[in-house]
Amino acid sequence: MCFKKKVKLYFSDSLGSLKRRLWPYKQVFVIYDARVEEYLPKLGLQGKPAYAIAATEENKNIKTAYEACKWLLEQGADREALVLAVGGGVTTDIAGFVAGIYKRGIRYANVPTSLVGQVDAGIGGKTGVNVSSFKNMIGLIKQPEFTWICPAFLKTLPEKDFLSGSAELLKTFILEDREAYEQAVDLLSAANRAPAAYGKLIEKAARIKARIVGKDEKENGLRRILNLGHTYGHAIEWYQHIHADEAPLTHGEAVAVGMVKAAALSEKRGYAAPGLESKLRDDFRRCGLSVDFPCPEQELEEAVAKDKKAEGGKINFVFIEKIGKVKVAKL
């Protein structure tokens, strides 16, 4: 099923149905997370040129992107080629960036295999790589030809990765759908990991993001709300990286902590009624998510100051007025 305008989403319950989406493309080059190699035959991608990457934040850098561009050149990829990203958010970020810079831009499509990818990272066209552990400092916005979403991938998703995606799922519903938020909390707190149980919620969240991006592709206004929890979430990831934390929070877990912080600041500024922070803490804990900073908060100031959402020395911060309604204001 195709979404409107520039943001195309397709949903399927069957891994094998991807093949028909690729029929219009004469050249398909697969860039995939080495950890999901077993899925390539199931997706009907056997025989297509494929390049494995170690899809970690440490490898999400310009060197990895360069090596992938070099591989495309060696494979003879021309301006009509399609790069197919198969993996989680790191993979779709890198592959989309590679497609955006190779020969000044070729087409790409996303097959997100993680919950984070299916509800957030694989949708909207944001691509990029990290610089000195600062998130996505080199990148561009380039819409994929389509994003193909199949909950069946979640069957073998590690628990920590599932929790990471859970945070992004909850984040999307905090933006504008309280009923879906409560449904998601109930489902996640029941520890139900059956892919079929999440299909409707994943589709709802994906469509919310696609609609927002369709109205504000370049993040000049409305799209900024999608950064809820990310200012402090990215700062936590930066801190963990430079301190070589042996058990770091995942991206989504860090964003969950960032959302709790956003709720606290929203109450402090009078945007939200008292009790919002407490509710998010309770709900997130029920879902198995982290709610507290893994380090002294003051040690995150450098990363917060360098947040890529800063303009004129001020950060466009997403505050929560209530579950289902947020606002952007300077921090």
Average pLDDT over residues 30-59: 97
Among candidate residues 57, 145, 168, 253, the one labeled active-site is 168
116 lies in some domain: yes
- Kindly state whether residues 145 and 167 are assigned to the same domain: no
Work out how many domains the chain is built from and give that number: 2
Cα 150 to Cα 138: distance, rounded to the nearest angstrom: 29
- Kindly state whether residues 168 and 307 are assigned to the same domain: yes
Does the annotation mark 57 as catalytic?
Answer: no
Per-residue pLDDT tens over the stretch 245-263: 888 999 999 999 999 999 9
- Kindly state whether residues 244 and 128 are assigned to the same domain: no
- Kindly state whether residues 18 and 146 are assigned to the same domain: yes
Cα 88 to Cα 297: distance, rounded to the nearest angstrom: 29
- Kindly state whether residues 201 and 109 are assigned to the same domain: no
Does the annotation mark 135 as catalytic?
Answer: no
- Kindly state whether residues 130 and 226 are assigned to the same domain: no
Predicted local confidence at residue 1, as pLDDT: 44
pTM for the model stands at 0.93
Number of C-beta neighbours around residue 302 at 10 A:
12
pLDDT above 80: residue 4: no
Q: Are 200 and 2 in contact (CB under 8 A)?
A: no
312 lies in some domain: yes
Domain stops at, among 121, 153, 185: 153
Does the annotation mark 269 as catalytic?
Answer: no
pLDDT above 90: residue 313: no
3-state secondary structure of 87: strand
- Kindly state whether residues 149 and 170 are assigned to the same domain: no
Predicted local confidence at residue 322, as pLDDT: 98
Per-residue pLDDT tens over the stretch 64-107: 999 999 999 999 999 999 999 999 999 999 999 999 999 999 99
- Kindly state whether residues 138 and 211 are assigned to the same domain: no
Average pLDDT over residues 53-69: 97
Average pLDDT over residues 289-294: 96
pLDDT above 50: residue 14: yes
Cα 235 to Cα 305: distance, rounded to the nearest angstrom: 9
- Kindly state whether residues 231 and 146 are assigned to the same domain: no
- Kindly state whether residues 267 and 312 are assigned to the same domain: yes
Predicted local confidence at residue 301, as pLDDT: 85
CATH classification at residue 82: 3.40.50.1970
Residue-range definition of the domain harbouring residue 174: 159-330
Among candidate residues 57, 145, 217, 219, the one labeled active-site is 219
Encoded amino acid at 227, one letter:
N
∠ CA 145-149-152, nearest 5°, is: 150
In terms of phi and psi (left: phi > 0; alpha: psi -120 to 50; beta: otherwise), the region of 166 is alpha
Predicted local confidence at residue 223, as pLDDT: 96
Predicted local confidence at residue 177, as pLDDT: 98
- Kindly state whether residues 174 and 306 are assigned to the same domain: yes
1 lies in some domain: no
Number of C-beta neighbours around residue 316 at 10 A:
18
Encoded amino acid at 259, one letter:
M
Predicted local confidence at residue 215, as pLDDT: 95
* Strands across the sheet containing 82-87: 9-11, 147-149, 107-112, 82-87, 28-33, 50-53
Among candidate residues 8, 223, 261, 281, the one labeled active-site is 223
